[in-house]
Structure 1
Amino acid sequence: MTPAHMPPGPSGAAVGLFLVVERGFPLSPLFSTYNYWDSEEPDGPPQSPPLLERLYNMQNHHHASDDLSQDVKYDVGHADHIASEEKAVDPAQAQAGITSVPTSGLAMSEEEQLLHRRVNRKMDFVILPVFVILYLMNGLDRSNIGNAATVNFTKDIGIPATAVNNATSLFFIPFILCQPISAAIGKAVGIKFWIPFLMTAWGLFTLAHAFVKSEGELIAYRLLVGAFEAGFYPCATYYLSTCYVRYDLAFRVAIFYGSYAIAGAFSGVLAYGILQVKGALHAWQYLFIFEGSLTVFFGLFALFWLPRRISTAWFLKPDERDWAVERMVRDSGGQDNLSTGITRQDIMEALKDWKFWTILPANIAASVPGQAFSIFLPIIVRDLGYTSYRANLFSVPIYVIGAIGLWSFAYSSDRFKERSWHIITALVIVIIGLTLVNEIKSSAGRYAALCILQIGSYTAPPLTVAWLAQNTPSPGKRAVILGFNGWGNLAGVIGSQLFRPQYKPDYRLPFFVCLGVNVFAFVAYLSYRYLLLAVNRRRARVLAGFTPEQAEAELTDSVRLGDKKLTFVYTT
């Protein structure tokens, strides 16, 4: 029987792909970051403004739980966030019983740190692996058309080879348009219910690909799959953002997103086996039937496995559930991070957010290679001179390298609490790889160049999601922003039209286009970083002139909300 103190839910051992072990890490950054209070500007704020300590204490008094025996100070993402960037523990923190600053960026007592890590481990073991599997299914169902194209898929049904490019491009029309709507519905009805519905629907239409008779049918099914897949990624990332605090999030989102890269590898291995099956149907028909059925199965599994919200998680003890909620409230600046529904104000605030509209073009440009390779890599490898079956198999190492590169960048990004330089470094690697693949003539050399560029090609999208989430403390606005961020999949429209049959076998023009858009992304992300730094410096100068009464009013009133408060410091 389920213990009385636990909400009803699945029993038995949690199923997981792996356990992400939460550890304490030193805060010394991998990349040098700007210290807002050590500005060399002559009119900059003093290095240790007394107002910061005042704000720090006021925020703790405002948000701390009544049952705490000591006045424990913690970072809620506003002005005291600056203090948490310091390498040593503040004496006032030590007096309050805080002996170290954990990886999350929240200052906690030792007891809370142990509880924090325990909650993270359980979620890493119970929730995260499920989303990894679900996104793996998403990746399989999106890329299987590329695998099928290597074994006479278009020839068997009597349609031109370019039909795959056209169907893939059209897939992204409903996929992009439906993302904000689907994300809003998911938040309203509950992610626990919406994701299983979406997966069951797109799984059935993926299965229907096995019985396609014309190009029109193929396009119709791809449009339907695109419409139902649209809400999965924003809903999943929003769900994860309600489970993990800001500096625990990027690595988890990267593990989740990395399963999309692994899907390419797994799809290659799976296709290598299934496409050699001999039977009454064509080999590619078995591929669509198997992968579509698998998606439906895991969608239904998620319905019974996932808790509706973290406050009712069946796998957490009562004190762990309380802490899981409390830490999210602290991390979001005292706002109800688990509220449901989206208001008109949330939508309007998201639409007026300059940060989102500034980073969106960069995200689209950076995503072009990853979106293109997720579908066409087996075809690109085949045109290096490998047979159809071996092309699927030889694409596996490239996908695996991409996933490892993504996880490494995300792990480092969370550990050192930095986003921009990690994205920019990944883009430099992609630029180098794209340059090499265009300049090298041998098949072996070009294959190696593909491996190099994949190291960084998947990094920008998940780190951008984590970056946007942590700079958007309002939960309703954050859900809308993450939904609109799905428009980054416009990269798929570009990528799906690049690697067309007329450019084979070297695909020089497509690779040059990828190179150009990634150079643009490099400049755009670098500019975005310095725009955020400029805002932080301006706010610091304003705060330095505040009286204690003005500071308290800024912190507690509703004149400015969320990241618009002068006390909020943007992460860079």
Structure 2
Amino acid sequence: MASVVDKKSHLSELTSTPPSAEGEVLEGMPSVASGTFSPVAVDLELEKQALKKFDMFLLPQLALLTILAYLDRTNIGNAKVFGFAEGLKLKGNEFNNLVTFFYITYIVCDVLWVISIQRFGANRVLAIAMVGWSAATFGTGFTHSYGQAMACRLILGAFESGLLPCMIFIISTVWSRHQQAKRVAVIYCATTISGAFGGLIAYGIQTMGTRLGLEAWRWLFIIEGAISMAVGCVFFITIPVSAEKAWFLNDEQAECMRAKKERDAALKGEAKLELKHVRAALKDPLVYLTGFSLFASSLPLLGFGTFLPAIILGFGYRSIQVNYLTIPIYVLATISVAIVSFMSDRTKKRAIFLFALPIPVLIGYSIALGTANNAAGYFAMFLCGMGIFPFNCIMLAWFSTNVSPDAKRSVGLPIAASIANISGVLSGQIYPPSDAPRYISGNAVSLGLEAVALTGVGLIVLLLKWRMARKNRMLQDGSGDDKEGDAALSFKYAF
């Protein structure tokens, strides 16, 4: 879920006119494209009412989608502790390969889904994607060999890769740029909530034992796959085709959303992607430093999300305990994401939080490496979860704030995300079964990469301070400002 982007501060890129107290764009604001006043008038009270309905009816659906997707992606980790690997007679690193190959189709198919959204609409594509990955999850419950399980994981990755671009597209068509941060933060919190639900569901299914001749781990995939498929069929109807055609809006509110769409387009201007924007993104060290830091932080995050049950099992707890012991860890992680995101937005500070978040992770993995005590090891996982999950959210928010104009950001953000996504392919290999029960090498790799992510934050701060110092010198020298976006002398970087 490396998609959480803080959009609040970009309003200044569009116009020098300040937003209203509610954060809404005022009527009659000048158009970037023409330099004249926008002729599109929007009733701000109607707009507020319409957006409130989207918060009530659409946002919970997107959060539920995220919870179910993450459940279907990571339930293989819960299944492992009560017989998945033994049931399929997996050998060597075959379980780890099942984790790894999911991300290969996930990355490869991402572009195809983006194209499909433009052609068929986000709600239709999203429903198809969800039914597809649900069928793959359901089918995993009936596999009897490594090859069959691998086929299900490849299909799961191919269909689930449609979730992220669909949700980004839907959010962008409803809420203006400066309104999106809190909504995306809700969805990001859903990933940690999913971890808690995953442990609870897995524990309940594990206690029911064998039913109808099927082992408990098979029922985990069957039940979760069936739930996701049923919800996907419902969402085909309940997720609106477009912001102005939402079933829960009255006629006046629907017309208001249509006018809002025209207004936002007028304010944004033409903002066409040109070769100069591509060059600017490719030449910007900030893009690669961000990708470097996201890669380093994402590998521990993805490894933690999949292998946490196995790690806890390695501390000496019984398999019947493991799945419910993951629940409070994810509850704390959810609280951490919510508090850190709120405080970062409230204070408009990013770097200070990014420096602080890796510290509990480093302490946690150090404890896990330094002692075999089960209570100490379990406590260490709380520290890791508290710092791992909010990091990417704040990092992407920081990057989005400091890269301008939109056209350059549209190139730079995917480059950074693509570098980070490589971690998905590698995350399945850092906890090989040969390292059980304590998984020393996997925890050591996670500790080291968290330190690398922290180093990346420091390098980004140094880069931005150097740039600001150079801009200040040029301003004092009276140098002309012929640059655009974040290269302009008037652009101030956020810290």
- The match for 1:307 is 240
Residue pairs, 1:70-109, within 5 angstroms = 76-78=11-13, 104=23
Structure-2 separation of matches of 1:204 and 1:430: 36
Aligned to 2:393: 462
Q: How does 1:112-127 map to 2 (within 5 A)?
A: 118=49, 120-127=51-58
Aligned partner (choices 211, 226, 233) of residue 293 of structure 1? 226
Contact 2:10 2:177 (8 Å CA) reproduced: no
Kindly state the Cα deviation for residue 243 of structure 1 after the two structures are TM-superposed: 3.8
- Separation of aligned partners in 1, 2:407 and 2:119: 10
Match of residue 123, structure 2, among 192, 205, 208: 192
Q: Secondary structure of 1:211's partner?
A: coil
- Sort the Cα spacing of 1:233 and 1:274 in 2 relative to 1 into closer, same or farther, 3 A: same
CA distance in 2, matches of 1:325, 1:415: 28
Among 152, 158, 162, which residue is 2:89 paired with? 158
TM-score of the superposed pair, with normalisation by structure 1: 0.72
Residue 443 of structure 1 aligns with an amino acid whose one-letter code is N
Counterpart AA for 1:398 = I
CA contact (8 A) 1:198 1:228 kept: yes
Cα separation, 1, equivalents of 2:162 and 2:226: 20
Confirm or deny: 8 A CA contact 2:287 2:413 kept in the other structure.
Answer: no
Contact in 1 for aligned 2:11/2:177 (Cα 8 Å): no
For the pair 1:168 / 2:99, whether they are aligned, the reply is: yes
Deviates more, 1:404-413 or 1:270-279: 270-279
- Number of the residue aligned with 1:508: 440
- The Cα of 1:207 is off from its aligned counterpart by 1.2
1:518 and 2:472 aligned: no
Local SS of the residue matching 1:78: helix
For each residue in 1:282-303, what CA deviation from the matched residue of structure 2 results, as whole angstroms up to 9, or x when unmatched? 2222211221122222223333
Aligned-partner Cα distance in 1 for 2:43–2:183: 21
CA deviation after TM superposition for structure 1 residue 352, in Å: 5.5
The within-5 A match list for 1:173-184 is: 173-184=104-115
> Separation in 1 of the partners of 2:21 and 2:471?
25
User: Contact (CA 8 Å) 1:200, 1:296: kept in 2 or not?
Assistant: yes
Return closer, same or farther for 1:400/1:359 CA change in 2, 3 Å cut-off: same
Determine the C-alpha separation between the residues in 1 that align with 2:247 and 2:475. 44
Shift of 1:183: 3.3
Would the alpha carbon gap of residues 291 and 324 (structure 1) be closer, same or farther in structure 2, given more than 3 Å must change? farther
Match of 1:432 in 2: 363
**SS of the counterpart of 2:12?**
coil
Matches of 1:170 and 1:455, distance apart in 2: 28
Please tell me whether the aligned partners of residues 150 and 388 of structure 1 are also in contact (alpha carbons under 8 angstroms): yes
How far residue 76 of structure 1 moved from its aligned partner, in angstroms, is 2.9
Distance 1:313 1:480 in 2: 31
Q: Quick one: structure 1 residues 408 and 320, their matched pair in 2 at CA, closer, same or farther if it must change by over 3 Å?
A: farther
Per-residue CA deviation, residues 142-181 of structure 1 (Å, 9 max, x unaligned), is: 1111111112122222222632111111222222233344
Q: Is the 8 A contact 2:81 2:310 kept in 1?
A: yes
Q: Is the 8 A contact 1:153 1:284 kept in 2?
A: yes
Check the 8 A contact 1:429/1:456 in 2, yes or no.
yes
CA distance in 2, matches of 1:467, 1:158: 46
Given candidates 324, 327, 334, the residue that maps to 2:268 is 334
Partner Cα separation in structure 2 for residue 570 and residue 117 of structure 1: 31
CA contact (8 A) 1:243 1:328 kept: no
Q: CA deviation at 1:365?
A: 0.6
Counterpart among 428, 431, 444 of residue 496 in structure 1: 428
Asked if the contact 1:250–1:410 (Cα under 8 Å) also holds between the matched residues in 2, the reply is: no
Evaluate the alpha carbon distance shift between residue 425 and residue 239 of structure 1 in structure 2; reply closer, same or farther with a 3 A threshold. farther
Provide the residue aligned with 1:55 in structure 2: none
1:412-431 aligned at under 5 Å gives the runs 412-431=343-362
1:90 is aligned to: none
Q: How far apart are 1:366 and its partner, in Å?
A: 0.9
Task: Pick the aligned partner of 1:321 from 229, 251, 257.
Answer: 257
Aligned residue for 2:148? Answer: 217
Map of 1:87 onto structure 2: none
* Structure 2 residue matching 1:303: 3-state secondary structure: helix
Report the CA distance between 1:215 and its aligned residue: 1.0
Query: 2:268 corresponds to which letter in structure 1?
Result: G
Match of 2:309 in 1: 378
Cα distance in 1 between the residues matched to 2:151 and 2:95: 12
Shift of 1:334: 2.4
Counterpart pick for 1:274 among 188, 194, 205: 205
| Aligned residue pairs, count | 469
Aligned to 1:460, what secondary structure does the other structure show?
A: helix
Once residues 225 and 212 of structure 2 are traced to their aligned partners in structure 1, the CA distance between those partners, rounded to angstroms, is 19
CA distance in 2, matches of 1:362, 1:292: 34
| Deviation readout 1:510-551 (Å, 9 max, x if unpaired) | 11111111111111122223423444554566567889xx88
Could you list the per-position Cα deviations for residues 84-114 of structure 1 after superposition, in whole angstroms to 9, with x for gaps in the alignment? 9xxxxxxxx8xxxx9x855x597899x9987
Q: Residue 134 of structure 2 aligns to which amino acid in structure 1?
A: G
Flag the 1:344–1:388 CA change in 2: closer, same or farther, 3 A. Answer: farther
Q: Which has the higher helix share?
A: 2
Q: Hey, what's the Cα distance between the residues in 1 that align with 2:49 and 2:344?
A: 22
Question: Aligned pair 1:143/2:79, yes or no?
Answer: no
Q: Secondary structure at the match of 1:281?
A: coil
Is residue 388 of structure 1 aligned with residue 322 of structure 2? Answer: no
- Deviation at residue 199 of structure 1 after TM alignment: 1.4
Assess if the C-alpha contact under 8 Å between 1:401 and 1:451 holds in 2.
Answer: yes
Superposition CA RMSD, Å = 3.7
Tell me the distance in 2 between the aligned counterparts of 1:477 and 1:300. 37
Moved more, 312-321 or 206-215: 312-321
Q: Is residue 78–residue 568 contact of structure 1 (8 Å, CA) maintained in 2?
A: no
* 2: CA distance, partners of 1:563 / 1:230: 31
Q: Would the alpha carbon gap of residues 234 and 456 (structure 1) be closer, same or farther in structure 2, given more than 3 Å must change?
A: farther
Residues 1:531 and 2:466 aligned together: no
Verify: 1:284 aligned to 2:217, yes or no: yes
Q: Which residue of 1 aligns with 2:33?
A: none
Partners of 2:244 and 2:254 within 8 A in 1: no
**Inter-partner Cα distance in structure 1 for 2:457 and 2:418:** 18
Distance in structure 2 (CA, Å) of the matches to 1:190 and 1:482: 23
CA–CA distance in structure 2, aligned partners of residues 477 and 492 of structure 1: 26
| Residue range with higher mean Cα deviation, 112-121 or 530-539 | 112-121
Tell me if the contact between 1:183 and 1:480 (Cα under 8 Å) persists in the aligned partners. Answer: no
Hey, what's the Cα distance between the residues in 2 that align with 1:132 and 1:204?
A: 20
1:506 is paired with a residue of what secondary structure?
A: coil
Q: Is the 8 A contact 2:10 2:401 kept in 1?
A: no
